[in-house]
Structure 1
């Protein structure tokens, strides 16, 4: 259980983690707290989405969606990898979350299949990021976008003292059949193209958290160690084999 990050804490956490970001005008005061009568927090995790569209900045910041007023997230991540801070208050992104999944996020346990019979308001408890992608399973997340995505989640976890088990996807919490996030990723570190999964994102976040916030994943495979020179005994054995082979000719 943690208080939501303040604007200063957002800036410090993202900067330390190496996230390039901009601030959308009004992000420090924009939110749904007053309109709903519900204050944001305490927070328990970071929820990840894809936008299912392109050029979504206006929608997630001020435009909203049919029946869903903005802001629609706390951060927006375009394909450039330069994060946009949208809100530090309550946002309409998570909707109803399965209570059993939320309990697992809080405890950082393996996430179970959603029990739709009991729900909680995910908007109360989860940070939300909208990552730009068509969500058609074909649109590719560029390297720089995925790298920033990992860093963003790690920044939140590091600030709150959470592990990667506090990172979840909308498809894992929603009781409404959400499928996001999904799609192919161009690559990450030394890894070539792969299919996005929340399991892999959590693995990459967990690896970041093992290092200082300034760490960057290697971008080329490490060189294999140089072979050890043969010992005297190995040289004599090889010589004996050559002599024996010559004697048989």
Structure 2
């Protein structure tokens, strides 16, 4: 049990562990603290999202929905191994769970796995107060694959928090180990993941594995043409598939609403890309929302596409 890390200390711990972190605007103050306290914290809960598509998954976890407002976790771990920081503080991820499980996790006193939970979301103790939470992009059907790079990030992010707090791997549990009405994560076992985390905690942090070479290319000249020709700039949309690639990257960065990623470089996309340019340090006419090579190179490197002329 411990006080939560500060947002800066949390970010530093992730990066020190070699986690590929993507920061989304406002993550440090995006939380549910008005609904109750966060902390003391006792561990990490790992979830699957029952969704596919990295950009839409990140947007869902950041914004939530009518019955469950966001953020739905602190970090979203997408299939490409990125750790999307979307919130910090109390988040709607763990819900109610078994107080006996909380006790053995706090004490790190269980064997291979905690005792089976007998309480759930409706009648359990408050887990949103007590845990960090990772939502991991996966359909949750037991068949959707877990890429090695994604599993590596689950391991690294969990180890980062354990190392920072002085916890062992027994402070990391799955949602199904916390609540009797949950089944996540499905597709790997938590004892297996805890073994990985324990092994990492016994070693000095190392760099993450190389990510696969990108396979999607975006033409800078065609992207600029689309941006300048799309409404309201000239009146006739220019169809180019690379626009959607860039829009999906902007959604993943938290700069564009998922519903506005429609394949046309219109007003919303221009505004979102201008925010991206300002994030890279540009201002004035250099942050006009029309892509330039330097800013696009950074976006491409973070989201797995290449740039052609």
TM-score exceeds 0.5: yes
TM-score for the superposition, normalised by structure 2: 0.63
Equivalent residue for 1:169? 174
The answer to whether residue 63 in structure 2 is matched with residue 58 in structure 1 is: no
Structure 1 unaligned residues grouped into runs of 5+: 184-195, 218-249
Structure 2 unaligned residues grouped into runs of 5+: 210-309
Residues 30 and 88 of structure 1 are in contact (CA less than 8 Å); yes or no, is this contact kept in structure 2?
Answer: yes
- 1:103-131 Cα shifts (integer Å, max 9, x gaps): 11101122111133973100000000000
| Larger proportion of helix | 2
TM superposition shift of 1:157? 0.2
Provide closer, same or farther for how the CA distance between residues 93 and 116 of structure 1 changes in structure 2, counting only shifts above 3 A. Answer: same
Equivalent residue for 1:2? 2
Residues 45 and 175 of structure 2 are in contact (CA less than 8 Å); yes or no, is this contact kept in structure 1?
Answer: yes
- 1:78-104 Cα shifts (integer Å, max 9, x gaps): 001011011111000001010111111
Which shows bigger deviation, 207-216 or 149-158? 207-216
SS of the aligned residue for 1:61 comes to helix
1:156 is matched with which residue: 161, 177, 182? 161
2:127 is matched with which residue: 117, 122, 137? 122
Whole-angstrom distance in 1 between the partners of 2:167 and 2:207: 18
Whole-angstrom distance in 1 between the partners of 2:92 and 2:208: 32
The answer to whether residue 151 in structure 2 is matched with residue 146 in structure 1 is: yes
Higher relative contact order (CA 8 A, sep 6+): 1
Structure having the higher Rg:
1
Corresponding pairs, count: 201
Q: How does 1:87-106 map to 2 (within 5 A)?
A: 87-106=87-106
SS of the aligned residue for 1:48 comes to strand
Residues 42 and 130 of structure 2 are in contact (CA less than 8 Å); yes or no, is this contact kept in structure 1?
Answer: yes
What is the RMSD computed on CA atoms of the aligned residues?
1.5
Whole-angstrom distance in 2 between the partners of 1:146 and 1:93: 19
TM-score for the superposition, normalised by structure 1: 0.78
TM superposition shift of 1:66? 4.1
Equivalent residue for 2:204? 212
